[in-house]
Amino acid sequence: MSFHPNDVIRRGRVATVIVCGTLVFLLSAFFRTQIIRNDLYMLQSQGNRLRQVPLPAARGVIFDRKGQPIADNVIGYSVALFPQSEDTLRATLTRLRATIELTNKQFESAITRFRRDRSRPTVIIPDASFDVISVLEEHRLDFPTLIIQSAPKRIYPAGKAVGAFVGYTAEISDNELSNFEGYKPGQQIGKQGLEKQYESVLRGKEGIQYVEVDAKNRPVGRSTPINDLKPEAAPPLQTNIDLDLQTYIHSLFGDSITGGVVAMDPKTGGVLALYSAPAVDYNRWVGGVSNAYYDSLKADPRQPMYNKAVQGTYPPGSTWKVATAIVGLENNVVNFKDHMPEACRGFYYYGNRPWKCWEKRGHGSLDLGNAIEKSCDVFFYQLGLKLQLTRLVAGGVGLGFLGKTGIDLPEERKPSFPDKVPEYFNAKFPRGWTQGSIAVNMSIGQGENAQTVLNMARFYSAVAMDGLSRRPQIARIADTTQATRLYTLPPDQLKMIRDALAGVVSTGGTAAGAQIQGLQLAGKTGTAQSGNFKDGKELNHAWFVGFAPANDPKIVVAIVLDNVSFHGSVTARMATAIMARYLHSVVVSKVETEG
């Protein structure tokens, strides 16, 4: 290090010269650009500008497990203008009206789009029919600033059948624009379901064509120095959905029944089908839903836009008795051959009132296995009292009845279930409550308990897998989702739970009518009161949750039928039809691969 003052001053001089020289060089470059060539650039700034014409990219195709498309793209046409100002835009739109049909809504939204982004062409009709295009092509010379482009359009071939999970795409809103990075006004974005959940995956890369326009914004040709950016389509998204099963479920429901269905593969967590009735055809939502269709959906008392599989929560009723049984076994309060102190006479007397069993004639004295098969309320009232509320609630929380399942759908709603005893009940019933009657009520899945169909499907998957719970997953990103163990019981007890559930769907069980030859089913019916009345009779939420084959579960089906006059046993027949359909097709496909 040499820091003799003379050296330092010499080096300081060199540095000063370099710094001054560089800045003088930069300044002279600005003088050349800003003063000498000012006319040229001023002209370019005022009149001739490069305009970017976006080239929309195709979204990723969504496939079912067998490679059938659930969401696909077809060629659509968009019509856009390069207006100079809002006034010229209004004038051109008015002239366009003489040639093609333009609604007031299209007129106004074109103005809004122009205000949002003037550097891109203003889209007039995002999805124009071929007729409109051919008329416009004839009048091309009258509208020199017109740009007609082919733009991929989203289509859901199965229509209503897949509405419950696929969602739809539409133009990005102002709100979304400020929340998502890298989006421009006018672009399409996933609004619901898988389209929203996997937006970042499904979205392609938009291309850009650089077009030079003259002072009146008429495209005058392509500018040479710029290379266009080609749009890049997004890779496909594979899902666990079985589209055949999904459309089959849709056909089972018809138009009159309301409810939700979830079918899962308990071994992988893959969602095979997810359905909500009445179904919505989201093809009619792509690019913007018409007011008439939206109003008709809104006015429908059965609330089609409310997803019965993942948003609707219903008291699980008797389907929840399996949970009470597992919590009882876990806490060693009961064993499989145990009987309760009091035999079922059709009611149970507790707290100065009788609690009815659904079987007025009574079941007599049952052990736990038989109580599950016959769904005896009186048995479970006493089991609930033996467990006491704190253990019952803690056990339910441990089995996952408090939280979301974590399925890859943005719409999933949290079930309602007490989190803590006694805080939850103190807040809920400030005027006092008794532990016993709440435990009695909750032991049969009534009271402070409302579950989504999806969460019941998840729970029965865990039951089918002897306690191993997997997160339900629609997209097939991995072969299986991560498993957590919900409960650990000795092997003989695990077997007995499954035997009891198999007993439900065999002669003598509550769903005996749903038996199918050659297929061993297991499951549980449930009938919960809805609080809604029709013709003086209270309507039910009719449940069935089960799996098949009982000894080697390949499919779990959970169904709730909303506000119906019949019981869970009817729902069970629907569920067995679904299971049989799936298992039958699985066998067939296996034969094919072997051949």
Which residues bind to other proteins, rule: CB under 8 A?
1-3, 7-9, 11-12, 14-16, 19-20, 22-23, 26-27, 29-31, 33-35, 37-38, 40-42, 44-46, 49-50, 52, 115-119, 177-178, 180-182, 185, 200, 208, 210, 225-227, 229
Sign of CA dihedral 231, 235, 237, 238: positive
- Minimum Å gap between C-beta 7 and other proteins is 6
SS3 407: coil
Residue identified by tokens 């009091």 is 342
Nearest to other proteins of 182, 341 (CB atom): 182
- The closest of 81, 209, 87, 101 to 142, measured between CA atoms, is 81
Nearest to other proteins of 26, 587 (CB atom): 26
- The closest of 494, 512, 509, 507 to 553, measured between CA atoms, is 494
Nearest to other proteins of 23, 427 (CB atom): 23
- Minimum Å gap between C-beta 41 and other proteins is 3
- Minimum Å gap between C-beta 205 and other proteins is 11
Is 471 exposed, middle or buried, given 0-12, 13-18 or 19+ CB atoms closer than 10 A?
A: middle
Nearest to other proteins of 181, 492 (CB atom): 181
- Minimum Å gap between C-beta 58 and other proteins is 19
514-520's contacts with Cβ under 8 Å and 24+ in sequence apart are 514/544, 514/569, 514/572, 514/573, 514/575, 514/576, 515/576, 516/576, 516/580, 519/548, 519/549, 519/576, 519/579, 519/580, 519/583, 520/548, 520/549, 520/550, 520/551
- Minimum Å gap between C-beta 23 and other proteins is 5
Nearest to other proteins of 49, 302 (CB atom): 49
Cβ–Cβ < 8 Å for 525, 510: yes
- Minimum Å gap between C-beta 1 and other proteins is 5
CA distance 456 to 220: 63
CA distance 137 to 148: 9
Nearest to other proteins of 60, 472 (CB atom): 60
- The closest of 563, 519, 570 to 544, measured between CA atoms, is 570
- Minimum Å gap between C-beta 203 and other proteins is 9
Nearest to other proteins of 8, 75 (CB atom): 8
Residue identified by tokens 């219903």 is 314
Read off the tokens for 114: 């122009």
In 360-400, where does DSSP find H-type helix? Answer: 368-374, 377-387, 389-398
- Minimum Å gap between C-beta 561 and other proteins is 41
Read off the tokens for 565: 């006059």
Nearest to other proteins of 119, 517 (CB atom): 119
Task: Give the neighbor-by-neighbor strand order of the sheet with 49-55.
Answer: 49-55, 207-213, 219-222
- Minimum Å gap between C-beta 127 and other proteins is 24
Cβ–Cβ < 8 Å for 578, 483: no
Nearest to other proteins of 226, 512 (CB atom): 226
CA distance 523 to 509: 10
Residue 549 one-letter amino acid: P
Nearest to other proteins of 32, 428 (CB atom): 32
- Minimum Å gap between C-beta 102 and other proteins is 24
Read off the tokens for 489: 């019981």
Nearest to other proteins of 178, 517 (CB atom): 178
Beta strand 207-213 with 49-55 is antiparallel
Cβ–Cβ < 8 Å for 542, 564: yes
- Minimum Å gap between C-beta 230 and other proteins is 9
Nearest to other proteins of 95, 115 (CB atom): 115
Residue identified by tokens 């609630």 is 393
Nearest to other proteins of 30, 592 (CB atom): 30
- Minimum Å gap between C-beta 36 and other proteins is 9
Read off the tokens for 450: 């409302």
Read off the tokens for 275: 């359905």
- Minimum Å gap between C-beta 169 and other proteins is 17
